[in-house]
Chains A and B, each alone.
Chain A
Amino acid sequence: MRHDFIDHHSRPGGPLQRLHPAGKVWAAVLAVTAASAVPAPRFTPFWPLLGLWLAGAALGRVRPDHLLGKLWLPLGFTVLAVLPLPWLRPSGSPWPGWPSLAGWPFYPESAWLALHAIARAAVILLLVILLMATTPFGELMHVLEQGRVPRVFLRILALLYRYLFIVVDEAEKMQLAVACRSTGRMPARRWRRMIGNAVGTLFLRSLERGEAVYQAMLARGFAGRFQSLSDARWSWREVLLLTGTLGMAALSGWKSWHP
Chain B
Amino acid sequence: MSAQTVDIALAGVSFAYPDGRQALRGITCRFAAGRCTAVAGPNGSGKSTLLGLLNGIHLAGSGEVRIGDLVVGKHTLEQVRRRVGLVFQEPDWQLFCPTVGEDVAFGPLNLGLGRAEVAERVRETLSVIELPGFEDRSPFHLSGGEKKLASLATVLAMRPEVLALDEPTAGLDPFHRRRLIDLVRRLAGTRILATHDLDLALDLADDLVLLDEGRLVAAGPAGELLRDRELLERHRLELPLRLQGDPAPPSPTLNNHELH
Contacts and interface: CB of A to CB of B under 8 A. Distances in A.
Contacts, number: 83
Interface stretch (B102-110, B197-205, B250-258): B102-110
Given A138-B102, A221-B111, A227-B109, A212 B82 contact: no
Given A1-B139, A229-B115, A218 B57 contact: yes
B2 interface: no
A42 interface: no
B78 interface: yes
A33 to B, nearest CB: 30
Interface residues of A, number: 28
A7 interface: yes
A219 B109 contact: no
Interface in B56-102: 56-57, 78, 81-82, 85-86, 88, 90, 92-99, 101-102
A223 B110 contact: yes
Given A217-B106, A220-B158, A3 B111 contact: no
A221 B78 contact: yes
B81 A221 contact: yes
CB-based closest 3 A-B pairs: A221-B110, A227-B109, A220-B107
A36 interface: no
Interface string A153-176: 000000000100000010000000
B106 A219 contact: no
B88 A216 contact: yes
A63 B249 CA distance: 64
A213 B91 CA distance: 10
Contact of B158 (A136, A215, A221): A221
Contacts of B140: 1-4
Contact of A1 (B86, B96, B101, B155): B96
A227 B55 CA distance: 21
A78 B210 CA distance: 60
Contacts of A11: 98-99, 136
Interface string A205-237: 000010011011111111101011101000000
A220 B110 contact: yes
A27 B11 CA distance: 57
Contacts of A228: 109
Given A228-B109, A229-B118, 20 more contacts: A3-B98, A3-B138, A3-B140, A4-B138, A4-B140, A7-B98, A138-B102, A209-B92, A212-B88, A218-B56, A218-B81, A219-B81, A219-B85, A219-B155, A221-B107, A221-B111, A223-B110, A227-B109, A229-B102, A231-B115
